[in-house]
Each structure stands twice: as structure tokens, then as C-alpha cells.
Structure 1
Amino acid sequence: MTSAPAIGFDYRPSRLPARLTAIVGALAFVAIALSGAPLALKLLLWAGTLVLAAVVARRSMRSCIVGIGYGPEGWALYRADRTQLPATLLSHRVIGTCVLLRLRTDETTEVLILAPDNSDPDIRRRLRMRLFAQAPTAGIL
């Protein structure tokens, strides 16, 4: 499968980071409630936690990238207007069934999460195989 000429697919942000942020925020609320801090400080900490959790969740759900391509000429990201941005893979990580990609374009660095809720299992499998094949230590145990 690593000899396939190209992999291309649509991308939408995963809801997984927002859900994890909500869980961590809820745990922080409980920790603040159980602390021995004065009520005024608890209220301030709760407000700060709520604002930070909302900002992080919103940021994780926004992406100007709607498509990803990977072929012999390298990586390409596509915007909503279908303009192509050439990209360089900075790093990747496979965590369970998720694939995390950190790609740099001329303008910015994009962190893209391919999870079960936003990508096809076959795409993730093919991508894992291609990433493993191109890794400098591929095949070394």
C-alpha cells in the first residue's frame, strides 16, 4: 500500500479535543470546589477555568483547512476556497486509532487530528502505513 501514488481526503476538525477539554474543565471545577480556598477565590478560579476551557474548545474546532493531500511531490493543504498550500511534515504521532499531523506551510503551522469522528478508518490506516514507511527508523525494531 505504500506504493499508492497519492492520498487525498476532506478534513473537518475532530470533536475529540473539545470533549476532552470539557472533561478536564469539569474535573478542574470539582477540584476547585473541594479546595479550602475562600469563596471569592473559588469564584475567580471557576470563571478563569470556564473562559480558558471555552477558548481552547473553540480554537480546536476552527480550521481553515478543508482538505489534505499527500503524494510524491509532498504534502498539500487545501483551504475552503480550494487554494492549495504546499506543506512540510514537521512531525506525526499515532495514538490508538488517531493520527496527529503537524504540518508547516509558508504562513503557519497546522496541527491536524485524524480521529474516528472525522476520518475514514481506511484513510487513517493507509496514512499510518505511508508515515511508517517514510520514517528514518522504519523497519528497525
Structure 2
Amino acid sequence: MRSAPSIVFDYRPSPAVATATVVVALAAGLAPWASAAPLALRIALSALALGGAAIALHRYRAPAFRRIVCGASGWRLVDRDGREHAAVLHAHRRLGSLLALDWRCAPRSHFRVLVTPDNLDADTRRRLVLLLARDEPPETGALV
């Protein structure tokens, strides 16, 4: 295996994660109707669950950054307009086949990415895992 000193990849949200979000949101919206709560409360809880999920899904499907670059100058995030922003990889976690990454950057306080098998090819994922193993960030704590 060769070393991965630099990496560039386009980030697109995972369709599987978006689908799972919709399924869970629908279940959360239907859950109050299985209770004996008053009608107004059931309506409010359903609306709150579905509204919150809609906002979260919109934010997930329209990320602020489209490209992720790591080179000799460190991590850079490229926004929708093609502008590069310096970033610091704050934390990363490998969760089975998922890879969660958390950057701190200037235009936003943080940018989180969930890399799944359906949104990044296998070779790039392997190189990214090697790069992360080689350049361990100072904090690999919980992604809050």
C-alpha cells in the first residue's frame, strides 16, 4: 500500500442517509398518534418532528462545501462558488463502514461530513483512511 500524502474529493451527501432520515422522520411523525395524548398535542408533536426533520434534511442535502482538499498546506474546503477556505480537522471517527469527519473553519464554526460507501469511491475512501491514520489530529473526541 502506498502512502496518501494528499487527497482531493468532491463531497455529495449520501442518498442512503437521506432516505433513512425520511423514514425515521415519518415514524417520529406518526408516533404521537399511537398515544392517548390530546389531539392538539399530537398535532403539535407530529408537526415538530416533521418540521425539524425537514430542516435537517435540507441542511444535509445542501452542504456549504462541495470539495475537500488535503495537501502540503493542510486541509481546505471549497465552497459552492469555488472559493477555498482553510480548515482544521478537529475530529474524526470510524463507525463501521461510516467515516465521520468534523472540520473547524472560518466562514462557519464547523463543517461535518459523513462519508459512506455510496458517496465516495472505495479507492478514495481507503486513501482517506490511510491519511487520517497517518496524521492523527490532536483531538479525536466525540463529534458533538
TM-score (norm 1): 0.85
Q: Give runs of aligned pairs for residues 1-80 of structure 1, distance below 5 A.
A: 1=1, 3-80=3-80
Distance in 2 separating the partners of 1:11 and 1:41: 40
- Residue aligning to 1:82: 82
User: Does structure 1 residue 116 correspond to structure 2 residue 91?
Assistant: no
Distance in 2 separating the partners of 1:29 and 1:78: 36
The verdict on how the C-alpha distance between 1:50 and 1:89 changes in structure 2, with shifts beyond 3 A counting, is same
Distance in 2 separating the partners of 1:2 and 1:71: 16
The one-character-per-residue Cα deviations of 1:52-97 (angstroms, maximum 9, x if unpaired) are: 1111111111112111111232111112232211110000111122
SS in 2 for 1:86: strand
| Ranges of 4+ aligned residues in structure 1 off by more than 4 Å | none
Amino acid at match of 1:103: W
Distance in 2 separating the partners of 1:40 and 1:78: 45
The verdict on how the C-alpha distance between 1:29 and 1:126 changes in structure 2, with shifts beyond 3 A counting, is same
- Residue aligning to 2:127: 126
For structure 1, list consecutive stretches of 5 or more residues without a partner in the other structure: none
SS in 2 for 1:67: strand
SS in 1 for 2:107: coil
The verdict on how the C-alpha distance between 1:60 and 1:121 changes in structure 2, with shifts beyond 3 A counting, is same
TM-score (norm 2): 0.83
The one-character-per-residue Cα deviations of 1:12-39 (angstroms, maximum 9, x if unpaired) are: 2223443232222222233212111122
Distance in 2 separating the partners of 1:112 and 1:71: 18
Q: Percent identity?
A: 38
- Offset, 1:4: 3.0
The verdict on how the C-alpha distance between 1:44 and 1:80 changes in structure 2, with shifts beyond 3 A counting, is closer
The one-character-per-residue Cα deviations of 1:94-137 (angstroms, maximum 9, x if unpaired) are: 11222111111122111112112221111111111111222279
SS in 2 for 1:58: helix
Amino acid at match of 1:126: R
